């Protein structure tokens, strides 16, 4: 975990140095907005233009990460029912793969996530994290068992959320039916 914290700092410093707006999503955002849990990867959303990609790839490689060729060519992937532009960077530490997934803010929702980001303290430093509402929406798009546990933990920890905002984006993302289910999760769903 110590290594992931160091990588989190390295990547956010890289983004800041390159004046690239970023927001932390995924397991690290769950650690800030809910019950902390182990996570073994890093997830970001960044706002870059296509012409910046190569400079970003080179800077990440200088951190000791590799970016597979298919991501360099422009990769989209499905997260649940939604297609996202992203790339992954990978390194190995003590024989274990460390993966950093970086989503490109090339749609209205991810641009909104970046606009709404919150500066939060984690590990005695300030970083930009997704809001609880946006984290839940991203988890609804993922729709994996782990995502549902994270959603329940965020709901349990956060209390009142901006439901109108969430309903708006859930409809646009095609996950309105999933959003309706979260209000019926039992309080101890996450464990």
Tens digits of residue pLDDT in 62-107 = 999 999 888 877 766 766 667 788 899 999 988 888 999 999 998 9
List, for residues 121-134, the tens digit of each pLDDT value: 999 999 999 999 99
pTM metric for this prediction:
0.92
Beta-bridge mates of residue 102: 44, 87
Q: How far apart are CA 91 and CA 64, in angstroms?
A: 7
DSSP-assigned letters across all residues of 49-86: -GGGHHHHHHHHHHTT-B--HHHHT-EEEEETTEEEEE
Domains and CATH numbers, the chain: 2-182 (3.30.460.40)
Q: Can you give the pLDDT at residue 167? A: 97
Please report, for residues 52, 90, 111, 136, the alpha-carbon distance to residue 67 in angstroms, rounded to integers and kept in the order given: 15, 7, 24, 28
- 34-56 confidence digits (pLDDT tens): 988 888 899 999 999 888 899 99
């Amino acid at each position: 975990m110590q290594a992931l914290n160091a990588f989190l700092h390295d990547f956010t410093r890289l983004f800041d140095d390159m004046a690239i707006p970023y927001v932390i999503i995924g397991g690290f955002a769950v650690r800030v907005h809910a019950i902390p849990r182990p996570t073994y990867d890093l997830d970001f959303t960044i706002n870059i233009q296509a012409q910046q990609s190569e400079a970003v790839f080179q800077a990440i490689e200088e951190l000791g990460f590799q970016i597979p060729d298919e991501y360099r060519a422009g990769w989209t992937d499905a997260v649940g029912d939604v297609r996202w532009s992203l790339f992954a960077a990978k390194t190995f530490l003590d024989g274990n793969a460390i993966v950093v997934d970086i989503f490109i803010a090339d749609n209205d929702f991810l641009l909104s996530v970046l606009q709404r980001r919150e500066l939060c303290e984690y590990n005695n430093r300030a970083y930009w994290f997704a809001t609880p509402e946006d984290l839940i929406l991203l988890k609804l798009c993922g729709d994996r068992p782990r995502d549902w546990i994270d959603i329940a933990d965020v709901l349990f920890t956060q209390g009142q959320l901006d439901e109108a905002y969430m309903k708006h984006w859930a409809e646009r993302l095609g996950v309105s039916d999933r959003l309706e289910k979260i209000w019926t999760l039992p309080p101890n769903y996450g464990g």
